[in-house]
Amino acid sequence: MGAEEIIRSLAALLFVLGLIGGLVVLVRRVPLASWWIGAGGAARGAGARETRVLHILEQRRLGPRHLLVRLRWADEERLLLLGPHGDLDLGRRPAAPAPSSVSEEGR
C-alpha cells in the first residue's frame, strides 16, 4: 500500500466523520420530531398545539428497582408500581378538582 493510498483513505475517513458530526449538530439544533411526529405517530403540521392531560402528582422510590407513581390522567388519578419485571396498576379514582386561586374564606 503506497503513501498515496493511505492519504486518500485517511481523507475519506475524515470526510465521512465530518459528515456524521455535522448531522449530529444539525439534529440537536433543529427539533424535527416536534412538528413531524404527533401523538400516536401521526404526522401533523408545524402549527398544531396539543393539550396536556397527563400530570405526575407524586412519585416515591420503594427500593433500588421499584417506583410508586401517582398521576392524573384527564379526569382520574392512578397509582402505578413501576419495576424491572413489569408495571402494575394499583388503583384509580376520580381526580380531585384543581384548587382554585381564590379562597372561599376571603369572600
Whether 103 maps to a domain, the answer reads no
Q: What is the mean pLDDT of residues 43-57?
A: 66
Domains: count for the chain: 2
Whether 101 maps to a domain, the answer reads no
What's the CA gap between 78 and 68, in Å, rounded?
Answer: 10
Whether 48 maps to a domain, the answer reads no
Q: Which domain holds residue 76?
A: 54-94
Domain shared by 31 and 63, yes or no: no
pLDDT recorded at residue 100: 59
Greater pLDDT, 64 or 43: 64
Whether 47 maps to a domain, the answer reads no
Domain shared by 58 and 89, yes or no: yes
Three-state SS across 22-45?
HHHHHHHHCCCHHHHECHHHCECC
Strands 76-83, 67-73: pairing kind: antiparallel
What are the tens digits of pLDDT across the range 53-92?
Answer: 888 999 999 999 999 999 998 889 999 999 999 999 999 9
